[in-house]
Amino acid sequence: MAGLLDRYFSFRGRLPRLPFFVRDFYLGIVAIVVFVATIPLFSNGSSVLWWLAVVILAAMVVTIGVSTISLIVRRLHDLGLSGYHAIWVVAAELGWTVLSYGPDYALFLGLPLLAISLWLLFYPGNAEANRLGPP
């Protein structure tokens, strides 16, 4: 359990490209499974079960949000940047997500924001040790 918490909730150290992608992929799978598992609670008709589903989804959003920010911070550490840069990276990813649901011209406006996410995913980290830890 300590290894799982260290993998997904630690803000120290570096995270190369492939583990970043794999862990982010696993978080997406967990989110989908929890979301699908709460559908019967919403459709049951009972207000108690409906509120239980809301609480479960709220806990999932907070947990996955913190772990995603942890992954982004450690990926930025691998690129030689401090964790404070996660503020604008997360803002860019949220902006891209919002614009991707809009009309076509909004999608084109969001392409630079998508480029930031792709940069985070594909740009190689520092090969040598940097001020934030060994490779």
pLDDT in tens, 2-36: 788 888 999 988 999 999 999 999 999 999 999 99
Answer whether residue 57 shows pLDDT above 90: yes
- Secondary structure (DSSP) of 34-46: HHHHHHHHHHS--
- Secondary structure (DSSP) of 3-31: HHHHHHH--SS---HHHHHHHHHHHHHHH
pLDDT in tens, 102-117: 888 888 888 888 899 8
Answer whether residue 70 shows pLDDT above 90: yes
Whether pTM > 0.75 for this model: the answer is yes
Which among 28, 29, 133 has a CA at the least distance from the CA of 73? 133
Amino acid 113 reads: L
